[in-house]
Structures are given as structure tokens and as C-alpha cells.
Copies of this chain bind each other. A is one copy, B any other.
């Protein structure tokens, strides 16, 4: 193997594939980056078996070849090199030599034939989604993924296409997040993608409307961007029937400015930390919502201006669940639909219809 490429581009490529290298596997070779050089340039791969990322890097290749290099060390070396051309070639004694200006590194490498094959994806069930739209949808749902492993399916996000609408859904038993967008897709799809895959994908997605092509097999999903591919296994099993969790009706509607509500809850939750499960109480009145909380250190009362349709209610929440929802919402004005102090609260944007959140209240012991 012998090639020359720009330090900058190589660094970018390493940075992308390293996102899949989690160190959570017992296979030492997966701590490495697989590098293949041929006529078309370089292919870099990083993987932890669950998720694999492959990206292309421009390079002038003199001799084709394959190696696997320790990702952390190789990444640090390339990052610290001067901004110039980097030459990489096989040297004597099973070492590769990395040369850049007056720096010469000789590194041991791992055997590329030990590197696991990526799953082959050649089905023709494909959809295309604008990158920025998918990125927003992931951001708007991924916080609600279950953190514990009690129900593995809830560690994923439901990716559902139905009636030309794409729905992303996550829930963890305390809250539910739904984002949807109309898309010109004919097939119906229902798969559950591991949350950590989508978090890595969202870091690679750009903030523009370029399309990302998504291909499905029964076990895997492939996100195809211009020069980068992300392949992930899918979660097995059926997702929760989330529609059945949504209340069919509500008795009151609160209109409120998102940022004011968020600020009030953030301050109130300062008093709700000490062994207090982040408990805050909301007293919904005609024109105001009063947030209170107390602990052995003192108490707090916050007032937020609202407009209410329906009768007032008293309801308590884990402030973190409400804050997660508010922080992930893009609209300035939001709507909360409630029925009583013991039934779920639905939160939506006031003007847009592409997000819906549900948060369970905390039942207070009288």
C-alpha cells in the first residue's frame, strides 16, 4: 500500500468512521480503522458490529492495499500533523510509515483479513429523506429513548412510513415523543432503529436539504450519504402501539410561550433536586400557571402567563421529563392538553402539526 492524501481530508474521514468505534466490543480489531486504498481513493471503515460507518477519502494511490490501524493513536497522529500532504506506505518489519513534512511515524498494523465483513445490503426498498429534516426528527425524539435495558425494543426509535407520512417515535414508559413529516414515499415501512445508531447518524447529517438514501433489509438499515454510508442492525421485535397511548380527548388546553415555561421550570427544579425526584407542581389557573417545588432547603414559586381554555387543574411532574420535551421543541408557542392531575399531558406546537409529546404526571400521595 502506498498513497498520498491531504491531512485535512484524512482527518475528516477518520473523525466520521471513529463515531462507530465505541470500544464496547471484545474484538481488538474493532478498535482499529480499516483502510483500503485502490484506484478510486481510500475507503475507511469503523465498526462496533452493531453500527458500521464507511466513508471515502480522496487520495493519490500508487499501490493498492488494505490495513487496520489503531483508531485512537492513528487519529491523534493525523490530527497533530501539519496541514500538508500525508504519505502512507508499507515499510519494513510489518510497519506502515506515515510521513508528513519532517514527521515520520512507523506504526504496527493489524491484519485486515481479521476485520469482519460488513453486511451486504442489496434489497430495493429505498426511501429518500432531506438530511436536515431527518436530523431534526431524530433530535426531536431521541431524548425519549429508554435508558434502561428492561425492554430492549424501547432503546430504539420506531421508523414508520404509513400513508405517505414518515413517523419517528420514541418512548420510555414516562414520556412519548412523536415527530412526523409528509414525504412522497409509496411503500409502508415499520422498523425499529437502535437509538445510538440514529444519534451517530444525526451527527453526520448536514443542515441542508440534500437527500439521504435509506435502504432496508429485514435485519439491517443503510443510510447512504454522498461519501459516507452508515449500516446498522435493526432491533428485533414489535414496537409499542403508540397510538393507543395517546388520549382520545382532553378537558383543557393551555397556550403558553415555550421559553417562559422552560425558564420557570428550570428555576423551580433547582429546589427539586435533593432526593426529591425533580418533583414540581403545576397549578393551572385562568391566566397564569403557578409552578411550585420545595425541599428541605426551601421552596420556590414561579408564575407563567398562559391562556386557558377549560377548567384549571393541579398536576405534578418530574421536571426533567417536561424540560426534555421543551428543549427539543422548535416552536415558540406551544399547547398543552390535559384532562386531570392523573392523566397524561400532551404537548404540541401551536402552529405546526409535526410534533406531539406525551408526559405522564407524578401521582401525588395525599
Determine the chain B residues whose CB is within 8 A of the CB of A237 once the complex forms: none
Per the bound structure, the CA–CA distance linking A313 and B70 in Å amounts to 34
Q: How many copies are assembled?
A: 2
* Residue contact A81 to B297, C-beta cutoff 8 Å: no
- Note all chain B residues with C-beta closer than 8 A to A301: 103-105
Identify which of A151-159, A203-211, A224-232, A265-273 touches chain B.
A265-273
CB-nearest residue of chain B to A70: B297
Query: Which of B102, B300, B302 touches A303 (beta carbons < 8 Å)?
Result: B102
Q: Which residues of B contact A299 (CB under 8 A)?
A: 105-106
Which B residues touch A302, using CB under 8 A? 102-104
Bound state CA distance, A297 and B77, in angstroms?
12
CB distance A106 to B298 under 8 Å? Answer: yes
What B residues does A82 contact at CB under 8 A? 263
Which residues of B sit under 8 angstroms from A263, Cβ to Cβ?
Answer: 80, 82
Q: Which residues of B contact A264 (CB under 8 A)?
A: 102-103
Determine the chain B residues whose CB is within 8 A of the CB of A95 once the complex forms.
298
- Interface pair B303/A107, CB less than 8 Å apart: no
Report yes or no: B107 in contact with A77, Cβ–Cβ below 8 A. no
Q: Can you sample 13 A-B contacts with CB below 8 Å?
A: A70-B297, A73-B270, A76-B270, A80-B266, A80-B270, A95-B298, A102-B264, A102-B304, A103-B264, A103-B300, A103-B302, A104-B301, A105-B267
Taking beta carbons and an 8 Å cutoff, which residues of A are in contact with B?
Answer: 70, 73, 76-77, 80-82, 95, 102-108, 263-264, 266-267, 270-271, 296-304
